[in-house]
């Protein structure tokens, strides 16, 4: 007679169900979507900054501070993207230095 521990006698473990997608592939696609989204946002900010400058030159822009805000948003977005790239490159280099 086997002892009963916490009333689990006769219970079978739940079978593991295979996942439909590989988690590594899913993480890779999510990461690539984040990269694509970030780059498109930076391009959009750059476009808005350039448009604001053109509006200022043509006299359509009424407020200089709005133009400066658009240009600074574009600058900050580009700097953030460069730092993101630098961190990703550092992480890649660190992984490549690991000994197996």
Residues 6+ apart with CB under 8 A from 41: 77
**Which residue do the tokens 């030159």 mark?**
57
pTM value? 0.64
Average pLDDT, the chain: 83
34 pLDDT tier (thresholds 50, 70, 90): confident
Q: Flag whether pLDDT at 89 surpasses 80.
A: yes
Q: How wide is the angle at C-alpha 54 spanned by C-alphas 51 and 58, nearest 5°?
A: 140
Mean pLDDT, rounded, for 70-90: 94
Residue 2 lies inside a defined structural domain of this protein: no
Q: What is the domain extent for residue 27?
A: 23-97
Residue 79 lies inside a defined structural domain of this protein: yes
Tokens describing residue 58: 């043509």
Please tell me the total count of domains within the chain: 1
Residues 6+ apart with CB under 8 A from 13: none
Between 4 and 66, where is the model more confident? 66
State how far the Cα of 31 lies from the Cα of 86, in Å rounded to an integer. 16
Residue 100 is predicted with a pLDDT of 77
């Amino acid at each position: 007679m086997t002892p009963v521990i916490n009333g689990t006698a006769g219970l079978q473990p739940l079978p593991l169900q295979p996942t439909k997608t590989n988690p590594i592939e899913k993480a890779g696609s999510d990461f690539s979507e984040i990269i694509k989204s970030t780059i498109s946002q930076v391009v959009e900010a750059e476009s808005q900054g350039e448009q604001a400058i053109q509006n200022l030159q043509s006299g359509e822009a009424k407020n200089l501070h709005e133009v400066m805000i658009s240009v600074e948003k574009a600058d900050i977005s580009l700097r953030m993207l460069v730092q993101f790239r630098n961190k990703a490159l550092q992480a890649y280099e660190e992984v490549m230095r690991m000994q197996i």
